[in-house]
A and B are shown apart, each in its own frame.
Chain A
């Protein structure tokens, strides 16, 4: 234990916060009674999964996968770039997450208009 392993600490921090976000979102979805809070929980799960993806694609000392005019020569000598595939997937996932949140919120608004409450324990009748 002469040197502190920097990447060990980083991995605990990054993976830990991503998993923590997923668990917090799951808790909000399962425990909260207010529908808006449930939708917020869904978007927190989204954020956690995106962070986990980006963390898996990271390479130590890697740069962003964007070539500059010097960068093309650098790649031939072996300077690492981070994995571009998770980043492209996360770009897609963010957009889809936006669509999911927007449609879920509009359904919440419709429920509120109909029942005058957005708490699921106060919505008794299943009739629309």
Chain B
């Protein structure tokens, strides 16, 4: 009976989703002419190269046009990491180390992950430094760096993350983001205003404050995700 009701509910939801989506033609050009932008997307596409000289329009939207949004997003991530830590908190004995894996992994995996770990870190740093030129950015690069730390945690039993270092990196990155915004408020009378020279498009140093903010976001996300993974992996069995 319950199953029947749920299937009925799913059918209703699916029907209305399908009906509403059938009015939106897939692949239709809803942007219009870019020289006289009428939609928000067309506005961003036409203004980004001239105003910010940033190649990646999505980075321009996320970091500059909606930079305040991103500050909130980063604080949501911080809140999630902190909430996870406080929900799963259990007092450790002094000097007690909880292994992240129960069995030691094979020598092949250990040697391989030691070899590949620096390369993952470099790839992550590349992704967030070039966030305004290529696909990618702070969040993606931070996630890549966190996968490197996950690999080390899974293959080495005694791999520990220094939590005070994580906290420092996270706080410094957050403070950098907020203070860049505040400098913009002081210099140009608007929070997160782009006060640095924008340079030429497709240069590594272009776009004013956008690369600086994305590097800070990359460090912050990497530290937070690594902290979350470390908390989840070193849960104490009772």
Contact = CB atoms under 8 A, between A and B. Distances in A.
Query: Do they bind each other?
Result: yes
A78 B88 contact: no
B27 A60 contact: yes
Name the prevailing secondary structure of the B interface residues.
Answer: helix
B45 A103 contact: no
A67 B6 contact: no
Contacts of B198: none
A102 interface: yes
A14, A59, A84, A99: which has the most chain B beta carbons within 10 Å? Answer: A84
A59 B30 contact: yes
19 contacts: A11-B25, A27-B6, A59-B28, A60-B27, A62-B27, A67-B49, A69-B201, A75-B45, A81-B31, A83-B30, A83-B39, A84-B61, A85-B40, A85-B44, A88-B58, A92-B70, A92-B73, A103-B84, A110-B88
Interface in B52-83: 55-58, 61-62, 66, 69-70, 73, 76-77, 79-81, 83
Interface stretch (B10-18, B91-99, B109-117, B162-170): B10-18
B83 A66 contact: no
Interface of B: 3, 6, 9-10, 13-14, 17-18, 21, 24-31, 33-35, 39-41, 44-46, 48-49, 55-58, 61-62, 66, 69-70, 73, 76-77, 79-81, 83-84, 87-88, 133-135, 137, 139, 201-202, 221, 225, 228, 232, 235, 238
Contact of A60 (B29, B40, B81): B29
Interface of A: 7, 10-11, 14-15, 19, 22-23, 26-27, 30-31, 52, 55-60, 62, 64-69, 72, 75-76, 78, 80-81, 83-85, 87-88, 91-92, 94-96, 98-100, 102-103, 105-107, 109-110, 113
Given A59-B28, A78-B34, A23 B10 contact: yes
